[in-house]
Amino acid sequence: MKTWTAANVKNRFAEVIDHVENGGEITVTFGRARKKVAVIVPYKKYFPRKPRRLGILEGKAKYSFSKNFKVGEREFFDL
């Protein structure tokens, strides 16, 4: 995890985005004391995707898709 001052984050924001897009994390410090005020992390790490359940039908129902179905399971459940 890198540590950057708030001024560096402001001045080099494009680099911050590139670093975070590639899975990196940045701690942001502020002031003369360099107090830690924030952490910039990839969105997927902050909000991890949870698998969907079938709810009350879990264990009682199944789903399957035919081979020629045009929408994949992932796209179907993202609707």
CA nearest neighbour of 44 among 12, 21, 77: 21
Whether pTM exceeds 0.95: no
Per-residue pLDDT tens over the stretch 17-58: 999 999 999 999 999 999 999 999 999 888 877 776 667 777
- What rounded mean pLDDT belongs to the chain? 86
pLDDT of 16 over the 90 cut: yes
Residue 41 covered by a domain: yes
CATH of the domain at 8: 3.40.1620.10
- Length reported for the chain: 79
Q: Which two tokens stand for residue 48?
A: 């991890």
Count of domains observed in the chain: 1
